Structure 1
Amino acid sequence: MNRKTILAGLMAAFFSVPAFAQQADTTLTYHIEASGNISNGTYAPLWFTANRYGLSSQKPNSGYVRTGLLYDKALKHHWHIQAEIDLAGAADQVSAFTVQQAYADISWRFLRLSIGSKERPGFPLTKNERLSSGMMVEGPNARPVPQVRAEIPDYVTIPGTGKWLAAKGHVAYGAFTDWNWQEDFVSPGNKWARHVFYHSKSLMLRIGNREKLPLEFEIGILMAAQFAGDQLEKNADGTSKVIVDMPDGMKSFFKAFIPMSGGSDTPWGDQVNVEGNHLGSWNFALTYYLHDWRFRAYLEHFFDDHSQMVWQYGRWKDGQLGFEIDFPKNRWVSSVVWESMSTKQQTGPLLYDDFAGTLGYQISASDNYYNNYCYQAWQHWGQGMGNPLLPGPIYNQDGKIIFKSNRVRSQHIGISGDPSDEWSWRMLISFARHWGTYTTPLDKQRKQFSSLYEVSYTPQWAKGWGATVGVGLDRGNYLGNSTGGILTIRKTGKIF
């Protein structure tokens, strides 16, 4: 099974959806959006770039125009179909033309089969998409990965539990699409990857019954992987040679689902560990409802191998702790989010593997989050798949596809308000400290302040129109200083 076969199947499924639903009335809507930003720094302010599903640029001046059609219909016998095509033309971004979304969702009751490239917020732990700094494994920071995804997107009560237990989850396989960008981006002597497959799965449980107790507890796990594909090294003449040819048969798909050691056709590191690049997170949340108030605390513990998946080396020290308050309806503040994140410990600096068995012990530390010796980095089109406070390879000026600073501690605050039905605003303020990596530390601790101040207007007198204007202000000695503005204008409406 190669990538062309997968993409052909995705497009066939997408264009077959209208035929399935031709017996029913249909709803077709459109959207048109234009956005541009300017700034005076080496890079654009971080929040002009981050958590925009990759439709953004780290460059100080960039923009795009996008347009799309959304087909949506509820059918008989609990069936529901949704399909969307979303195209964008961009200036000073990683590509001048982007198929941002092209997907078909077929749902029956609480089950959904999603096929294609779709902007998917973080899952399975729900965070405030407007105010959170983002997920640690995968979320809205990078361009969507085309995939086939079977899921229970919302909590479903498990029968026989008296509404006290509910579950949701998913299983997905897909393919990364950025190998042409990788080949152009890397400099001679550096490595890149092509034809890499994607896998993720999750299970989340919710304990609680709001009809009897205004308290809910959630616990679950998310696991993701890169597998198959080739690793190449760029030559001085611009050509590339294959260094590693990873297996891509059905056995590799099974080993992505149940992590297992690689065979003789994989690199030595995969033979003694697991085949592919695996990472994930444990997720916890506690929500309390008090009249019109909502209080929510959550923890996402990140792990990049089995040593941090369990308490093998003591208590967990890396992850993101968050707290969210939703206020009763008022004119000024609707929600507040605070998050504290650490990726500094990574099980410690020491890595020792006694594969010969001479000493009888092994220390699996220096986890090197988001980096991988075969696939370079957990990224897509230069943007990190996880939290944007760890800037992705797109920021590297030496043509290396790695995270140069994955040992980070950060504080983040997000505040939003809805003064009226026409006006809304949000403010994001982040502060991060960077230490580099264990193998390549920075020359000194570096600090970065990033902020966004944004106002949106959707006038009632101009139905379907909306505009958002924002100011970004960054200060620090990691990404540098930058001040800029961003303007987005959109129009939505029904065709029939």
Structure 2
Amino acid sequence: MHMVKFRLIIILIIGYSSIYAQETVHDSINSVTHSLNIESGVLISAKSELPFWVRGNNSQRFKQGSANSVYQILHYNGNYQPIKNIALKWELESLLNIRERIDGRIIQANLSIESKLIRIRGGYDEEFFGLNDSTLSIGNLVYGNNASPIPKVSISTNGWQRSPLFGNHLSFQAYLAHGWFEQNRFQSGAFLHQKYLYLRVKAFNSRLSIIGGLNHNAQWGGANATNESSQPTGIKNYLRILMGSSGGSDANLSDQNNALGNHLGSYDLRGTHEFRHFFLSSYWQFLWEDKSGLTPFNWRDGLMGASIDFKNNGLINKVVIEIIRTNDQDADKVSDDGLSFLEPDNFLNNNTYQSGWTYLDNVIGNPVFLLIHPDSDDFRSRVKNMVNGLNVSIGGNLKGLSYSITYRKFKNAGTRYESIEPGLDVRSAIIYLSIPTIHGSFGIRGEYDWSNWLGKNFGFQCQYRVDLSSIFRKGN
């Protein structure tokens, strides 16, 4: 009930301030602009759980128990430009889900300051990483939107920045963030370290674009209440995390021999060529885990994708095909004396950070990496990470109606330490339709799943989105 009252107050404040700003401020500098969107919808399922991809990759807006419920999402953005080329921005997104009881949650809440070159942001923010297709992809493997946004502070370039020497022929994007994991986990209060650097080369009158870079994530610090131990922190150890260096004498033996903390990430590559009627793209995401996994031997594990993006806004606008394979993990090694032994990189699991690559008991990476038993004590197999998957998706328009049709399947075979036979197989057929309205849009999404693990399920989501800020402007 308190969340309902809070949302009503926020709507009234934003609505009044939007009208007031439109009436009293006309200068482009020192002006305040507002964007307020409300989405109302219903979630229907044949079973008591939602279909797999309705809840997956959705920043935990909808959870497994959200089936057969109604919901409302309030999404507000504000922008204030105090001086030329400097902008203050803020964002708030909240959700109400009503089934047997009212569940109210904040999804996003952040504040940023940005110029043409730099953006500084703090709070809870739904971010999209990597070089995958932006609309029809199955999602980033390492840092996707399967879990709720993690609180963090970040500094990044504001989009692509041209190099001083080569102009548009060479540009770059960079990102650095510090975040905080929750307290209630095996390594309580651990820190999140994130960074990436991408370089983009354009040639042949910008018809050819090649992007490559490194995405690096790490868990570090934190305390273990079970054995009353803690992992080293401070500036000196932060620099070790930043550089991926080995731990000092205050670190555990494993981190002294390898790298301080739990490191994981990906090499990302993308190539795009512009033809007369379409863009053809191919992209790769190669996974790595800790310092030993940075070698090219691991480049068999990851995601490979291709897309065709047609220039005309016709019946078919885009086609995307993606393949996932994470079975190898550089597991079969040979010792100095010639003996073979098993030591997989074991994606998303760690012997020190035994809660794994999770936040609030949800995998941070792609939902195809399964967390079946969140309370499991087997840290080596907590996140099931051996996956073969396929994503085929088509999107387009038909007389004002936007649509996408997707087929996805994946088989999760457990881990190299604990295999699952037969593998957990999930196949999904998804269709999404969207019709524009005067002040928003109406959409319907249907999904049919068949699985040897979850059984068969069918569900759909009906949603109506309205842009209240456009109504305020029109009324003014």
Given the two structures, how large is their TM-score scaled by the length of structure 1?
A: 0.81
Partner residue, 1:149: 154
Could you tell me how far apart the structure 2 residues matched to 1:479 and 1:153 are?
A: 42
Matched, 1:215 2:173: no
Spell out the pairing of 1:241-260 with structure 2 (5 A cutoff): 241-242=226-227, 244-260=229-245
Report the Cα distance in structure 2 between the residues aligned to 1:449 and 1:277, rounded to whole angstroms: 32
Q: Whole-Å Cα distance in 2 between the matches of residues 363 and 282 of structure 1?
A: 26
Paired letter, 2:345? D
Task: After superposition, give the CA deviation of every residue in 1:410-440 in whole Å (9 maximum; x if it has no partner).
Answer: 111122112244x311122111122111111
1:52 Cα deviation from its structure 2 partner: 1.0
In the other structure, the counterpart of 1:433 is 411
Match of 1:396 among 373, 378, 381: 373
Give 3-state SS (helix, strand or coil) of 2:443's partner: strand
- Structure 1 residues 369, 92: CA separation in 2 closer, same or farther (over 3 Å shift)? farther
Distance 1:404 1:174, change over 3 A: closer
Task: Determine helix, strand or coil for the equivalent of 2:126.
Answer: coil
Q: Which residue of 1 aligns with 2:426?
A: 448
Q: Which runs of 5+ in 2 are unaligned?
A: 1-20, 22-26
1:28 aligns with 2:34: yes
Q: Which has the higher contact order (CA 8 A, sep 6+)?
A: 1
Is 1:317 aligned to residue 282 of structure 2? no
Distance 1:146 1:350, change over 3 A: same
- 2-structure distance, mates of 1:362, 1:373: 22
Q: Pairwise mapping of residues 45-84 of structure 1 onto structure 2 (< 5 A)?
A: 45-59=51-65, 61=67, 64-84=71-91
Q: Is the 8 A contact 1:330 1:419 kept in 2?
A: no
Corresponding letter in the other structure for 2:409? F
Contact 1:163 1:209 in 2 (8 A): no
User: 1 CA distance for matches of 2:360 and 2:199?
Assistant: 33
Mapped partners of 1:199, 1:361: distance in 2: 36
CA distance in 1, matches of 2:310, 2:410: 28
Match of 2:310 among 327, 331, 347: 327
Cα distance, 1:315–1:129 mapped onto 2, change above 3 Å: closer
Partner of 2:468, secondary structure, is: strand
The 1-side partners of 2:409 and 2:265 are apart by: 24
TM-score (norm 2): 0.84
For the structure 1 residues 450 and 435, does the alpha-carbon distance in structure 2 shift closer, same or farther, using more than 3 Å as the test? Answer: same
- Which residue matches 1:342? 325
Looking at structure 2, the residues matched to 324 and 68 of structure 1 have their Cα atoms a distance apart, in angstroms, of 30
Instruction: Count residues in correspondence.
Output: 441
- 2:390 maps to amino acid: Q
Identify the range of structure 1 (59-68 vs 102-111) with the bigger mean alpha-carbon deviation: 59-68
Equivalent position SS for 2:233? coil
Matches within 5 A, 1:175-194: 175-177=180-182, 179-180=183-184, 192-194=186-188
- Offset at residue 367 of structure 1 (A): 1.1
User: What is the Cα deviation at residue 406 of structure 1?
Assistant: 0.6
State the secondary structure of the residue aligned to 1:480.
coil
Query: 1:263 Cα shift?
Result: 3.2
Conserved in 1, the CA contact under 8 Å of 2:278 and 2:311?
yes
TM-align CA RMSD: 2.9
8 Å contact kept, 1:149–1:171: yes
- C-alpha contact (below 8 Å) 1:200/1:223 kept by paired residues: yes
Q: 1:259 to 1:398 in 2, by over 3 A?
A: closer
User: C-alpha deviations, 1:37-69, integer Å up to 9, x for none?
Assistant: 232347422110112122121336155433232
Q: Which amino acid aligns with 2:323?
A: S
1:138 counterpart letter in structure 2: Y
SS in 1 for 2:254: helix
The one-letter code of the counterpart of 1:377 is: G
Deviation at 1:174, TM superposition (A): 1.1
1:276 maps to amino acid: G
Between the aligned partners of 2:150 and 2:399, the Cα distance in structure 1 is 36
Q: Cα deviation per residue 1:284-329 (whole Å; 9 max; x = unaligned)?
A: 1110101241111001101012233123xx4621111100111132
Superposed CA offset, 1:371-412 (max 9, x none):
112222112223322222223x2x437656864421011111
Partner of 1:288: 273
Q: Please state if 1:481 is matched with 2:460.
A: no
Following TM superposition, by how much is the alpha carbon of 1:337 offset from its aligned partner in structure 2, in angstroms? 0.8
Choose 221-230 or 80-89, whichever is displaced more: 80-89
Q: Give me the whole-angstrom Cα distance separating, in 2, the residues matched to 1:88 and 1:315.
A: 40
1:479–1:405 CA distance, 2 compared to 1 (3 A): farther
Contact 2:258–2:290 (CA under 8 A) maintained in structure 1? no
Give a deviation string over 1:219-251, Cα, whole Å, max 9, x none.
11110111111234xxxxxxxx45542233223
Give the Cα–Cα distance (whole angstroms) in 2 for the partners of residues 398 and 491 of structure 1.
Answer: 41
Q: Give yes or no for contact 1:41–1:60 (8 Å, CA) kept in 2.
A: no
Code of the residue aligned with 1:338 in structure 2: it is I
* Structure-2 separation of matches of 1:196 and 1:351: 34
Match of 2:189 in 1: 195
Q: Secondary structure at the match of 1:308?
A: helix
CA drift at 1:459: 0.9
- Equivalent position of 1:279 in the other structure: 264
Distance 2:346 2:72 in 1: 37
Matched to 1:478, the amino acid is: W
| Aligned partner of residue 61 in structure 2, secondary structure | coil
Alignment partner of 1:102: what SS? strand
Match of residue 171 from structure 2: 166
Q: Decide which of 106, 116, 125 is 1:118's aligned counterpart.
A: 125
Q: CA deviation at 1:350?
A: 5.2
Q: Give the share of equivalent positions with the same residue, in percent.
A: 24
What's the CA shift for 1:443? 3.0
Residue type matched to 1:221 in 2?
Answer: L
Letter matched to residue 173 of structure 1: H
What secondary structure does 2:285 align onto?
strand
CA contact (8 A) 2:38 2:468 kept: no
CA drift at 1:265: 3.5
Question: For 1:199, what is the secondary structure of its paired residue?
Answer: strand
Give, as a single letter, the amino acid of the residue that structure 2 aligns with 1:428: T
